[in-house]
Amino acid sequence: MSQVRAAIEAARHDGRSALIGYLPAGFPSVQGSIDLIEAMVDGGVDVVEVGLPYSDPVMDGPTIQAAADIALAAGTRIDDVFDVVEAAAAHVPTLVMTYWNPVERYGVERFAVALAGVGGAGLITPDLIPDEADEWVVAADKHDLDKVFLVAPSSTRERLAMTASHCRGFVYATAVMGVTGARDQTSSAAPELVSRTRQVTELPIGVGLGVSDGRQAAAVAEYADAVIVGSALVRAAFDAPEPTSAVRAVQQLTADLARGVRGEPGGPRASGSPVGTGHSGER
């Protein structure tokens, strides 16, 4: 079992969903991104996603785009991303979220070797579909790396089954159509998408795009195996006046999100409502 799936299964054993937090490497600097990720770990994330800054992030909202621009302007390179992954992986399982072009330009096999070498768990590839991922699938399997592909509300049953069959670690369910970004309400399409995906796979299902606080995390945790948060964490760092307060803001937001998925006393789900429906008997 992959380390990411093991972390999600451990959370399930505890009667809760896992919390996955995203931050881009190199924002506001390489060391600054390590500090922010360590704040997420201190706040209670189970898995980290390290974003690889890219010049044409067509699926990202303005907050993550702005953070990527800062990272790129500071000279962040792929080797810096591996340094951030290595630091994060010392604490929790760590994936890289990346568009496919940088991996292809770096060299797929070379990227897989480097990622495995620093303890990375695998890749989330939002713009790479399984139909076009043969080279990555071979390299990932060779180096024991997770392959996390995305499913969306528009996916047919056949598409869900095909995509899930190529995943390792978990299946990433995008809760809303369109670009990333924190929202006032989570998508009403998400529970149905998770239910449909459960019909075609035994893998855990993580839900991302739109969660901004512990209350929303608690709502998603009712039906998803993992709650994925990105833009809200980046925004927390952006809104802070200086690096120390940015670290504190990210840690505090993560702690709020963690209380949401855990249903801890005083948290949004303190009433004791159960986590998710899941596969029969699995939870």
Which amino acid does the sequence have at 136?
Answer: W
Strand order, beta sheet including 94-97? 146-148, 122-124, 94-97, 47-51, 18-24, 226-229, 205-208, 171-174, 150-151
Active-site annotation holder among 46, 60, 80, 83: 60
- Does the annotation count 60 as an active-site position? yes
**Tokens at residue 192, please?**
């149905």
Nearest CA to 206 out of 22, 18, 78 is that of 18
Active-site annotation holder among 35, 38, 46, 49: 49
- Does the annotation count 202 as an active-site position? no
Instruction: Tell me how far apart the alpha carbons of residues 223 and 194 are, in angstroms, rounded to a whole number.
Output: 7
Instruction: Tell me how far apart the alpha carbons of residues 194 and 46 are, in angstroms, rounded to a whole number.
Output: 20
SS3 64: helix
Pair 7, 61: CB distance under 8 Å = no
Instruction: Tell me how far apart the alpha carbons of residues 193 and 47 are, in angstroms, rounded to a whole number.
Output: 22
Active site residues: 49, 60
